[in-house]
Chains A and B, each alone.
Chain A
Amino acid sequence: MIVSTLRAIYGWRWSVLPPVAGVAVMAMVLGALLVAPREVVEGDVQRLLYIHFSSILAAYGAFAIVFLASVVVLWRRDLRWDAVARGAATVGVLFTGLTLATGAIWGKPIWGVYWTWDARLTSTLILFLIYAAYLLARSMADELDEQAARFAAVFAIIGALDIPLIMMSVRWWRTLHPQPIVLRGAERPALPPEMLIVMIVAFIGVGALAVWLGVLRTETEWLAKRTAALRAAADRREGA
């Protein structure tokens, strides 16, 4: 029952995801630029909030999928989950990069610098590095190398379990130190309704885009594996 429902939902991926992602992302851009009011303190640059925040949520979601898929790779030894993990990791790295980039653009006028070794910035950067290393390591081996898939899965699991330690250590490292630029600790006023609506649209748009890209990447990955398998089989037949 659940499986067939999931299959049916998955069957809609081409008809549903691209239009939803396209429309919602356009709506987010228009909403952020036109509908949402200008933030009083930070000015227009604050309009980056919508893409910045929804990107990091998409990245966290993608990394959670990498972790789960990696556990399944070790458990079931099914290379399809390796493709899922790789697809999700690509999306996660992409959106973490987007978060870092929009954050830097936002930081310059507000904090006066593109980058500061604040705890949250630092741990996001480390997250980016870990999953970039994962992708690099996985791409160094053949698609069909089951051993390499398992190595990558082990690395992804270690990376995911390292995140709490990284966050804790980086927080101790930074907050016990005088900060050159004081991040505005004061609580942000609750978002006005227009901003909230744009934010929700941004969640939908970026979320759908991330899922779509993840699915695309996963299926590409899986097709690459099948091609490699077919090619290997053809080579064997020629050799025989």
Chain B
Amino acid sequence: MNAGLAVVAKDLRLAWRDRAGWASAGAFATIAVLTYSFAFDLATGDIRPLLPGVLWTTFLFASIFAGGQSFARESEEGTFDALLLAPVPATVIYLGKATANVIAMLVIEFAQLLLATILFDTNLLSPELLVIVFIGTVGAVALTTLLSTMSASMRGRAMLLPVMALPLLIPLLIGAVRATGASLDLESGTAPWTLLLGVFALWSALLSVLLFPMAVER
């Protein structure tokens, strides 16, 4: 438990020191939201129906981008090997990393929701929506953290990570977009989208916790 907290603290500290990396993920998300709004503004007068899609594609890309960065540094400096030598179970290391990534992503996402609330004149900070964003972030980051550990040592990692992560994340994307749409009173069908989102988050967290030790074992 303490070891897990230590990893979380270490990663958050790293994230803080490596502000530029996370800030660029945040800047990327901001630019993406703005770009979408410029691009779609001409196509449709009412951008509101597109909002869930805009937000979630941005969140997913930002989490992949940021997740890839958090491990790139570790593998460049060789600190990941040192971390694995520490007398704590690999699961704890994974949970610590994933938690730190979730916290950092939530900060970025909150800023985007705030920005979009102002830009699109739609209240995106309702408790319901915040819960949906939280569940979706846990589901996405659980998987991207695992995948970014795995691809950290591979060539062409920057391209590889989205290609690997996005097809796996499609159920999450569908659930999150529809649940967000429902919470904004947009037409989104009657399926239990939040449940789908929750099931996916649980699935990806459990699977990642189980598989991470096998993936990083030396």
Contacts and interface: CB of A to CB of B under 8 A. Distances in A.
- A and B bind: yes
A137 B151 contact: yes
Given A137-B151, A147-B153, A176-B190, A168 B171 contact: yes
Interface stretch (B10-18, B59-67, B88-96, B196-204): B196-204
Contacts of A151: 150-151, 154, 215
B174 A126 contact: no
Contacts of A176: 189-191
Interface stretch (A39-47, A78-86, A156-164, A193-201): A156-164
Interface stretch (A55-63, A128-136, A223-231): A128-136
Given A140-B155, A140-B156, A166 B171 contact: yes
A126 B170 contact: yes
A150 interface: yes
A205 B113 CA distance: 55
Given A151-B150, A162-B168, A136 B215 contact: no
Nearest to B188: A176
B147 interface: yes
A8 interface: no
Nearest to A173: B174
Interface stretch (B22-30, B47-55, B159-167): B159-167
The winner among A157, A173, A176 for most chain B CB atoms within 10 A is: A173
Contact of A137 (B164, B178, B189, B211): B164
Given A130-B167, A162-B171, A165-B203, A154 B155 contact: no
Contacts of B147: 155
Interface size class of B (residues with CB under 8 A): 20 to 34
Contacts of B207: 158, 161
Contacts of B190: 176
Given A74-B214, A141-B154, A177-B189, A169 B164 contact: no
Contact of A133 (B153, B167, B171, B199): B167
Contacts of B4: none
Given A126-B170, A141-B154, A165-B199, A172 B215 contact: no
B132 interface: no
A98 interface: no
A170 interface: yes
A126 B164 CA distance: 11
Interface in A34-92: 74
B191 A157 contact: no
Contacts of B136: none
A154 B146 CA distance: 10
A129 B163 CA distance: 8
A134 B147 CA distance: 12
B68 interface: no
Interface string B32-60: 00000000000000000000000000000
A157 B211 contact: yes
Contacts of B143: 158
A148 interface: yes
Contact of B214 (A148, A150, A162): A150
Given A133-B160, A137-B163, 18 more contacts: A130-B167, A134-B164, A148-B153, A150-B215, A151-B150, A151-B154, A162-B171, A165-B200, A166-B170, A168-B196, A169-B170, A169-B175, A169-B196, A170-B170, A172-B193, A173-B191, A176-B191, A177-B189
User: Which A-B residue pairs are the 6 nearest by beta carbons?
Assistant: A176-B189, A169-B171, A151-B150, A172-B191, A129-B167, A165-B171
